[in-house]
Homo-oligomer: A and B are copies of this chain.
Amino acid sequence: MNKKGLAVLMRSRVRPPANQGRQHFPPSESLPFPNSSMDPSRSDDHQETSSWPSVMLKDVKDWMHASISIPAHRIEPFDSNLEKFSLGYLGLDQEDRKELIFVLARDYDVNRARVRDLMQQYLGLEHPPAMSDRQSSGPEEEGILTAFYRTERNLRDALKPMYSLFFERLNAYPGGLKLLVVLRADLLSSLAKENIPCLRALDSYLKEKLITWLSPASLELHQITWDDSASLLEKIVAYEAVHPIRNLLDLKRRLGVGRRCFGYMHPAIYGEPLIFIEVALLKDVAVSIQDVLWDEPPTPECEASCALFYSITSTQPGLSGINLGKFLIKRVIELLRRDMPHIMTFATLSPIPGFMQWLLSKLASQLKLAKTETEDSSTSSHIGSGSVFRENILLPEEEKMIVNSSVGSAVGKSGLEIMENLLRSTNSEWAKSDCLDVLKHPLLRLCARYLLKERKRGKALDPVANFHLQNGAMIERINWMADQSEKGIQQSAGIMVNYVYRLDHIEEYAQSFINEGCIHASPDLHEYVKDMKDNNSTVIN
C-alpha cells in the first residue's frame, strides 16, 4: 500500500466515533439493540445516496408498494422499483425510515380473511388415511392426500405476511441483503422506543429470514491481511469496538507476524466482514491486554503454543441476535489446528462488560437496605423489594482491611460504603490510588461470583460469558488489572477473563451449559466462590 493509500485509510479515524451503528460483541439476545440507527459505513457503500438529496417519503412508499405488488412471474432480478426503493430508503432520515417501517408492518401484514377461508376449507377436508406404505394407497386416498398437501401449501402461503415477498425480492436483488440488514437495524431502534406488536412480528419474521439466508455454510472465512484493500481495512478500523485500533502501526501489527485476523464474508454483502475475530499467537495465555497489543517483538510463530482470541466484533447492528460468532470461532480453531499443529491451547482474553454495572447496583441496594435496617431495627430483615435480601457482600477480613486502609475513614463508614464511593469516584481514580491493593481481593472474588453464579433466565448474566459458555468454553482464570484502559476500568474494574476452549470437551461443555446450566471453571475460579450457597446454578471444576 502506498503512502497515499495509507493516508486515505487513516481518515477513517478522524470521523466522529460513531458508536451508534456499532455493536459490542456479543449482543445480548434478550435486549433489543439500543442505538442501532444508521449503518456507519452506509455512506461508503451507497455513494449514490448523495445524488438523492430530496427523496420523499411518499415516493419511497410508492416504490415499496410497487415492489411488493409485482406479480410473481414478472419478477426481474434487476427490477427498477427495487433499485429506486433501495436508494430512496437510504436517502431517508431516521424519522421517515421509522414511518416507512411502520407502514410496512401494518399495511403489508397477513391477509387474515384469506387465512380464515383456507382454514375453514382445511377443517372441512376428510381425514387422510394413515399412510403405511405406498402400495396401500388407492386413487381415492391419493386424491384426499393431494387436497391436504394443496391446502397446506396454500395456507403456508397465506400465513406469510405480504412483506415476506418484499424480503424475498430484496434478498434476490444485488445489494438487497445488505439493505435488509440496515432496515432491521432501524427496526430494532424503533422497537427500543416503541415496542408495539406489529413491529415485534415484523422483526421476528425478518430475523428468521436473515438466519436462513446467512447460513454459516454460505459464509466465506477470509483471512484479513495487510494485502487486503484499503476499503476493507478501513472498515476493520472503523468497526473494531473491543480494543479500538489506535493508529496505522497498531493495525499493521494486528495483521502481521504472530497475529491473525479472520472475517466472515457473505457474497451478497460486498467488501466488509459481517463479523471478525483477532487472534494473537503466544507462548502462554496472556494475563493482560496491554501485553497482547504491545508485545515487542512478537513471539516467533514456531514457538507459539497458544492462540489467544482477544477481540471479536460483529459489524452489523441489524444482525443482532444472530449468533455468527459461534460458527466463526469453531472454524478458526479448526483452521489453526490444521495449519499450526503446535498450537495446543485455544483461549480468549475477554472483557466482562456487565461486571461493574452489576456490582454497583448490588452495592447500592445493600447500602439502602443497611440504612433502612439501622433506622428501623425492629423490622424483619426481609424488606424492600421482594428480590433484595440483606447479604454479606464483603467477607469480614475484606471489610476490616478496607476500613483500616489509609483512604478508609475519609470516604465512608462501612467497608461497603467506602468501596462504593471509591468505585464511583470521578475518572476512576481508585484504580490509580493506594487503595488498589485492598480492593483487589474483594473485586476478584465478586467478579468470580458474577461470572459463575449470576444468571438471567437460565443464561449467564454477563453477555460475553454467556456467549463463550454456550459455545463450549470453560472459565479458566480472571486477571487483575488486565485492561487498564478507561473503558476496561469502568466496565470491568480492569479485570479480564480467560475462557478456554478445550478441544476434547467443546461439545460436552456446550451441551451441559445449555441444557443444565452447568458452568465449567478451573479450581482457582471455584476457590473464590467456595463459601457461597448454591444459587440454583451448577458450577463444575
Contact A218:B131 (CB < 8 A) given known A159-B156, A212-B213 = no
A511 touches B74 (CB 8 A): yes
Number of copies: 2
A77 contact from B128, B220, B330, Cβ within 8 A: B330
29 cross-chain CB contacts under 8 A? A74-B514, A74-B515, A77-B217, A77-B326, A77-B330, A102-B134, A106-B131, A115-B122, A131-B198, A142-B197, A145-B197, A149-B198, A149-B200, A171-B212, A171-B215, A171-B217, A172-B216, A172-B217, A173-B217, A174-B216, A177-B217, A177-B218, A212-B212, A215-B268, A217-B267, A217-B268, A218-B218, A218-B266, A219-B267
Residues of chain B lying within 8 A (CB to CB) of residue A511: 74
Provide the A342-368 mask, 1 if CB < 8 A to any CB of B, else 0. Answer: 000000000000000000000000000
Q: Does A510 contact B (CB under 8 A)?
A: yes
A327 touches B77 (CB 8 A): yes
**Which positions in A face B, CB cutoff 8 Å?**
73-74, 76-78, 102, 106, 110, 112, 115-116, 119-120, 122-123, 128, 131, 134, 137, 142, 145-146, 148-149, 152-153, 155-156, 159-160, 168, 171-177, 194, 196-198, 200-201, 204, 212-213, 215-220, 266-268, 326-327, 330, 507, 510-511, 514-515
A155 touches B159 (CB 8 A): yes
Nearest chain B CB to A115's CB is how many angstroms away? 8
Q: Please give me the 7 A-B residue pairs with the lowest Cβ-Cβ distance, nearest first.
A: A217-B268, A149-B201, A145-B197, A218-B268, A146-B197, A119-B119, A172-B215
Nearest chain B CB to A93's CB is how many angstroms away? 19
A31 CA to B120 CA, complexed, in Å = 33
Nearest chain B CB to A327's CB is how many angstroms away? 5
A506 CA to B272 CA, complexed, in Å = 33
Nearest chain B CB to A61's CB is how many angstroms away? 14
Residues of chain B lying within 8 A (CB to CB) of residue A212: 168, 171, 212-213
Q: A145-B197, A218-B267, A220-B267 are in contact. List 10 more A-B contacts (CB 8 A).
A: A74-B511, A76-B507, A77-B327, A137-B196, A146-B197, A174-B216, A176-B217, A177-B218, A213-B213, A213-B215
A123 CA to B119 CA, complexed, in Å = 8
B145 touches A514 (CB 8 A): no
Nearest chain B CB to A459's CB is how many angstroms away? 11
A217 touches B134 (CB 8 A): no
Among A116, A122, A197, find the residue whose CB has the most chain B CB atoms closer than 10 A. A197
Residues of chain B lying within 8 A (CB to CB) of residue A198: 131, 145, 149
CB closest chain-B residue, reference A134: B196
Residues of chain B lying within 8 A (CB to CB) of residue A330: 77-78
A131 CA to B168 CA, complexed, in Å = 25
B215 touches A149 (CB 8 A): no
A153 touches B204 (CB 8 A): yes
Residues of chain B lying within 8 A (CB to CB) of residue A172: 215-217
Among A106, A196, A201, A215, find the residue whose CB has the most chain B CB atoms closer than 10 A. A215
Residues of chain B lying within 8 A (CB to CB) of residue A194: 134
CB closest chain-B residue, reference A172: B215
Residues of chain B lying within 8 A (CB to CB) of residue A219: 267
Residues of chain B lying within 8 A (CB to CB) of residue A77: 216-217, 326-327, 330
